[in-house]
């Protein structure tokens, strides 16, 4: 049998340094997993390749999972999507049909006072954003800029088919069953046709899960409730763009966007689970790239999710998660969370996690 293989795509900005940290932790618990690196995003464009070169695609095709860093650099701002680093993510999500994006948001004990909200509002916060990732306004056609009768115009299209909504709703209800059994579906049904379809389909799926509580929020209200009473949320399910926005909002409740991992899962099966792409949700942070100060937590926890979903290895996933938790409980911090205490660099924090595995 072929050795278990992970395609490692570090990408841009802080991507390489935090991904390196995650690979160290992954290899420490699973020496049998082969990690092969590929170029992606600006790192590939810089070498005259496309954002998602054919070689990288071959690597991903062979792999059981993708450990992804981040893509995007300011020098590409204003370029059309196919010439931007982000195009790589777009193609990966589309080609592997990675429709289910799971973004767990947790506040580590001891980090409550790092939040911009009052500590009592975020204590014990533990929610899961289930974001639809291959539909909606990101992918709907037409999607273009054009000039009509001398006037520049642009169009994006928000489009959903019922089966796309149904399958992501199922992911949310199944996840809720293993948690606090509550799903909040977020839409904009007072204005959008896609949202009216969304709500109808989610309600139909909800009837198959009578043991799970369902409620619906309009997206503007959801944005407000997230900063007003965040710990009342359990699972939030929503369409692609709302999920993009709300998951960043939810993430920062924890005090640092550098702590949050994500899993993007599709339909493809691999030997011990589902093929998936795992990445920090925080982005490339070009301002701190290469300085050895970025928080590697999100990348390390993404490696834990990779073990859980693509390798069916709950034990080692939990082992990594608990090591990270104890690192924080012991008062160790990277600079963006350090406040008055001395901060550890990326590598030092990673070593502290490795010691606690």
Residues 278-307 that bind ligand IPM (CB under 6 A): 281
- Using CB atoms within 10 Å of the CB of residue 211, give its burial: 0 to 12 exposed, 13 to 18 middle, 19+ buried: exposed
The residue whose Cβ lies closest to ligand IPM is 86
Distances (CA, A) of 323 to 86, 216, 282, 330: 32, 36, 21, 10
Minimum CB distance to Mg ion, residue 246 (Å): 10
Q: Which is nearer to Mg ion, 4 or 243 (CB)?
A: 243
Catalytic residue chosen out of the listed positions 113, 203, 220, 330: 220
Active site residue 278: no
Query: For ligand IPM, which residue of 8, 89, 122, 246 counts as binding (CB under 6 A)?
Result: 89
Among Mg ion, ligand IPM, none, partner that 72 touches (CB below 5 to 8 angstroms by kind): ligand IPM
Minimum CB distance to ligand IPM, residue 356 (Å): 29
Nearest to 42 by CA among 98, 89, 7, 6: 89
Binding-site size, Mg ion (CB under 5 A): 1
Q: Does 64 bind ligand IPM (CB under 6 A)?
A: no
How far apart, in whole angstroms, are the C-alpha atoms of residue 56 and residue 334? 32
**336, 297 Cβ separation under 8 angstroms:** no
Active site residue 77: no
Active site residue 220: yes
How far apart, in whole angstroms, are the C-alpha atoms of residue 157 and residue 101? 21
Catalytic residue chosen out of the listed positions 76, 96, 99, 138: 138
Distances (CA, A) of 236 to 17, 182, 224, 248, 328: 31, 9, 14, 13, 26
How far apart, in whole angstroms, are the C-alpha atoms of residue 173 and residue 182? 8
How far apart, in whole angstroms, are the C-alpha atoms of residue 189 and residue 13? 38
Query: For Mg ion, which residue of 244, 279, 313, 336 counts as binding (CB under 5 A)?
Result: 244
Query: For ligand IPM, which residue of 187, 244, 313, 336 counts as binding (CB under 6 A)?
Result: 244
Among ligand IPM, Mg ion, none, partner that 250 touches (CB below 5 to 8 angstroms by kind): none
Active site residue 138: yes
Active site residue 95: no
**230, 181 Cβ separation under 8 angstroms:** no
Question: Which residues of the shown chain bind ligand IPM in the complex (CB under 6 A)?
Answer: 72, 86, 89, 244, 281
Question: Which residues of the shown chain bind Mg ion in the complex (CB under 5 A)?
Answer: 244
Kindly list the catalytic residues.
138, 188, 220, 244, 248
């Amino acid at each position: 049998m072929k050795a278990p293989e992970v395609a490692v795509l570090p990408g841009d900005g802080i991507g390489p340094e935090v991904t390196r940290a995650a690979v160290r932790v992954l290899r420490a618990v699973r020496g049998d997993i082969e990690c092969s690196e590929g170029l992606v995003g600006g790192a590939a464009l810089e070498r005259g390749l496309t954002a998602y070169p054919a070689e990288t695609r071959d690597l991903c095709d062979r792999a059981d999972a993708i450990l992804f860093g981040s893509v995007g650099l300011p020098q590409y701002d204003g370029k059309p999507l196919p010439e931007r680093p982000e195009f790589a993510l777009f193609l990966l999500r589309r080609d592997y049909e990675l429709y289910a994006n799971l973004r767990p948001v947790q506040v580590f004990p001891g980090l409550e006072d790092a939040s911009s909200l009052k500590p009592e509002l975020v204590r014990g916060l533990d929610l899961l954003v289930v974001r639809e990732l291959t539909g909606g306004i990101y992918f709907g056609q037409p999607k273009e800029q054009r000039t009509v009768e001398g006037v520049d115009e642009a169009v994006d299209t928000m489009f959903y088919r019922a089966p796309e909504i149904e399958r992501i709703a199922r992911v949310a209800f199944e996840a809720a069953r293993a948690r606090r059994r509550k799903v909040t579906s977020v839409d904009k049904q007072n204005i959008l046709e896609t949202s009216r379809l969304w709500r109808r389909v989610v309600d139909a799926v909800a009837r198959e899960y009578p043991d799970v509580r369902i409620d619906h929020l309009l997206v503007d209200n959801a944005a407000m409730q997230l900063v007003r009473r965040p710990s009342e949320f359990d699972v939030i399910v929503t369409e692609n763009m709302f999920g993009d926005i709300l998951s960043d909002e939810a993430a920062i409740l924890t005090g640092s966007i550098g702590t949050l991992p994500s899993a993007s899962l599709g339909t493809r099966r691999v030997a011990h689970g589902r093929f998936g792409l795992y990445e920090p949700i925080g982005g490339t942070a070009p301002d701190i790239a290469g300085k050895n100060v970025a928080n590697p937590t999100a990348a390390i926890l993404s490696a834990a999710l990779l073990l859980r979903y693509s390798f069916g290895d709950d034990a080692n996933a939990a082992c990594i998660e608990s090591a990270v938790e104890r690192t924080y409980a012991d008062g160790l911090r990277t600079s963006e969370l350090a406040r008055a205490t001395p901060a550890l660099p990326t590598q030092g924090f990673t070593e502290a996690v490795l010691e606690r595995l």
